[in-house]
Amino acid sequence: MFLEKLGQIKKARENWLANYLNPEIIAFCNKQGIFLPPLTNPKDSDNNWGNIKWHIRNRLRQSDDLIEMFPQYLNKADLLADYLKNYDLSILPLNLTQKEGVKKFLPELGFTPIIDPYGVQRECSVITREFSGKKYYLSTYKKNYGTLLPIVSNGSTRIICPIGCRACYRGHQTRFKNPLLLIHGDGSSEAVSIPAPDIQFNWLVEEWNTNFVLAGVYDILISGGEPLMLPNQTWEKILKELGTAKHLKCFRICTGALFLGLPFRFDEEFIGLLTNFRGKTGVQIKIAAHVSHPENITPEVVYFAKKISTQGIEILPQIPLEPEINFWSNDLERTAATLTRLDRLLSLTAGRPYKWIIDLQRGISLLSAIEIWRRLHDRHQTEADVTRPTSLAILLPIPEGNLNLSYHSLWAIKMEVDKRNNLVHYRIPHPAGVWVDYNEPLQKGVNDTPQRLKSLMI
Ligand code: SF4
């Protein structure tokens, strides 16, 4: 059944591409080896592929369909059914057309996400407001950061993302349907509501304009779930509120839409809202865009990335290093080849890659990550400098903020292997002037002896 549907999906895609791609984009895709399906029926006016609602409606959501499309689940049908009781399965049509890229969205049975790996729900880093006896989340603010990090929802308690990454950094909410938690200093937690976006930004800007602690904050990074699931009318209201933020100079949206299945979300009206806002306020706009695999760079992405960049909106591609998607600790050659291709394609399509992020779910070792970073980027040899992301970052749930690593970090890191608990502990000096602790699972042949660290230091 779903295979039949996939046939219709592919046809809708070919039709849209034939109608929308100009010779320059076709030449670009051919030159860069970006897969172009046969461009048929250019006169057919069926425009479903460009309609985001159609993509949402045509996601793969059911276990039967998953088994039909991915027979590796066939002999795990019971486990799958059990896992899907709690897991919100969602694979978008564009992602289904990718042989390797789709793996990012295939559920890993038994996997449970780390709750709040980046510390955005810690009470000490959250701005709240009490209203009518109820506590509302307004934004995350890490002490001394220049950035506010608000999480938005549609006003319900759910944080939604139809993109469906199996190891979503907010998987506890987006995939496992839990409410946003406020985590107290003693480890206890309480569910907290997020107001409707217009109210959230009204309250947040009021706080920002009047609280002297926030006077140095000049940047805002709005995330979700998927913040671009909010309709244009809601974005118009958010921008109206942000237009009154005295300190705001830079405005970023953190989204998976561009590279991970919904590039069509960047319609003319939405891009117009952003450029009008910039025109009136002078605030600069950037799109922090999640991307993992070279196949995520499709002709559709090339088309919309061009539309966005020609309006002077900078795209900042963020690449989480993920096991079995773009990173194989036991096959660093494959890892290097995949990430090289991804960095090169991004530098040609979206300006340049922004940052690599060490897997927030701790699926890869930071030793392997540093080794690949050294080969591809710290060496300055086989790769042109334009493909170099700004940083190899670990996002940490600590008040001192994130850490950027490099080849030279190997000399500073202290490593301890804890075989009893199957863990590896690192102590890493932080530029804030403190040592931070970082733990990861022990992996045989990857991080199971301190000699592994030493062997990389040459
Ligand atoms: S795009 Fe971002 S929010 Fe959405 S599922 Fe993926 S990681 Fe989560």
**One-letter amino acid for residue 199 of the chain:** I
Nearest-angstrom CA–CA distance, 410 and 367? 8
* Protein residue with least CA distance to atom 3, ligand 1: 225
- The rounded Å distance from CA 226 to ligand 1 centre is 7
Assigned domain for 397 exists = no
How do residues 329-363 score in pLDDT, each as one tens digit?
999 999 999 999 999 999 999 888 999 999 999 89
Q: Please spell the DSSP secondary structure of 186-219, one letter per residue.
A: TS-EEE-B---HHHHHHHHHHHHHH-GGGTT--E
- The rounded Å distance from CA 281 to ligand 1 centre is 30
- Site residues for ligand 1, CB cut-off 6 Å: 161, 163-165, 168-170, 174, 224-226, 256, 260, 290
Contact 403, 434 (CB under 8 A): no
- Residue located via tokens 């799958």: 80
**Least confident interval from 159-173, 395-409, 417-431:** 395-409
Q: For residue 223, which atom of ligand 1 is closest to its CA?
A: 3
Contact 329, 321 (CB under 8 A): no
pLDDT higher than 70, residue 44? no
Nearest-angstrom CA–CA distance, 220 and 147? 5
71: how many CB neighbours lie within 10 A of its CB?
9
% pLDDT > 70, the chain: 99
Assigned domain for 69 exists = yes
pLDDT higher than 90, residue 381? no
pLDDT band at 412 (very low <50, low <70, confident <90, very high): very high
Q: Give the CA count within 13 Å in the CB-facing half-sphere of 274.
A: 22
How do residues 154-194 score in pLDDT, each as one tens digit?
877 789 999 999 999 999 999 999 999 999 999 999 999 99
Q: What is the mean pLDDT of the chain?
A: 95
Assigned domain for 101 exists = yes
pLDDT at 311: 97
% pLDDT > 90, the chain: 88
Pick the closest to residue 262 from 93, 100, 102 (CA basis).
93
Assigned domain for 347 exists = no
Q: Is 317 helix (H, G, I), strand (E, B) or coil?
A: strand
Pick the closest to residue 64 from 81, 82, 88 (CA basis).
81
pLDDT band at 382 (very low <50, low <70, confident <90, very high): confident
Instruction: Work out how many domains the chain is built from and give that number.
Output: 1
How do residues 73-116 score in pLDDT, each as one tens digit?
999 999 999 999 999 999 999 999 999 999 999 999 999 999 99
pLDDT at 400: 83
- The rounded Å distance from CA 215 to ligand 1 centre is 30
pLDDT at 45: 65
- H-helix segments, 211-311: 232-242, 268-281, 299-310
pLDDT at 290: 98
Residue 423 backbone dihedrals phi, psi, to 5 degrees: -130, 155
Q: For residue 320, which atom of ligand 1 is closest to its CA?
A: 7
Assigned domain for 67 exists = yes
- The rounded Å distance from CA 179 to ligand 1 centre is 16
- The rounded Å distance from CA 367 to ligand 1 centre is 25
Residue 53, token pair as written in the block: 């609602």
How do residues 290-323 score in pLDDT, each as one tens digit?
999 999 999 999 999 999 999 999 999 999 999 9
Cα distances (Å, whole numbers) of residue 151 to 2, 114, 141, 253, 392: 34, 18, 11, 10, 24
pLDDT band at 256 (very low <50, low <70, confident <90, very high): very high
pLDDT higher than 80, residue 46? no
* Protein residue with least CA distance to atom 8, ligand 1: 168
- The rounded Å distance from CA 369 to ligand 1 centre is 21
How do residues 19-29 score in pLDDT, each as one tens digit?
999 999 999 99
- Residue located via tokens 């709240």: 128
- The rounded Å distance from CA 196 to ligand 1 centre is 20
* Protein residue with least CA distance to atom 2, ligand 1: 256
Q: Which of 90, 161, 291 to mutate to test the pocket of ligand 1 (most atoms within 8 A of CB)?
A: 161
Contact 217, 206 (CB under 8 A): no
Assigned domain for 23 exists = yes
- Sign of the CA dihedral running 8, 14, 15, 20: positive
Assigned domain for 7 exists = yes
Nearest-angstrom CA–CA distance, 333 and 331? 5
Mean pLDDT of 43-49: 75
Q: For residue 257, which atom of ligand 1 is closest to its CA?
A: 1
Nearest-angstrom CA–CA distance, 213 and 234? 28
Give the pTM.
0.96
Residue 56, token pair as written in the block: 């949402």
pLDDT at 451: 94
Mean pLDDT of 439-455: 95
- The rounded Å distance from CA 170 to ligand 1 centre is 7
**One-letter amino acid for residue 6 of the chain:** L
Contact 436, 428 (CB under 8 A): yes
* Protein residue with least CA distance to atom 6, ligand 1: 165
Assigned domain for 72 exists = yes
pLDDT higher than 80, residue 43? no
Pick the closest to residue 79 from 44, 110, 54 (CA basis).
110
Mean pLDDT of 241-270: 98
Domain that holds residue 59: 2-105
Nearest-angstrom CA–CA distance, 163 and 288? 15
pLDDT band at 272 (very low <50, low <70, confident <90, very high): very high
| CB under 8 A, 24+ apart: contacts of 384-391 | 384/347, 386/347, 386/352, 387/340, 387/343, 387/344, 387/346, 387/347, 387/352, 387/353, 388/343, 388/352, 388/353, 389/319, 389/343, 389/352, 389/353, 389/354, 389/355, 389/356, 390/354, 390/355, 391/355, 391/356
**One-letter amino acid for residue 94 of the chain:** L
* Protein residue with least CA distance to atom 7, ligand 1: 168
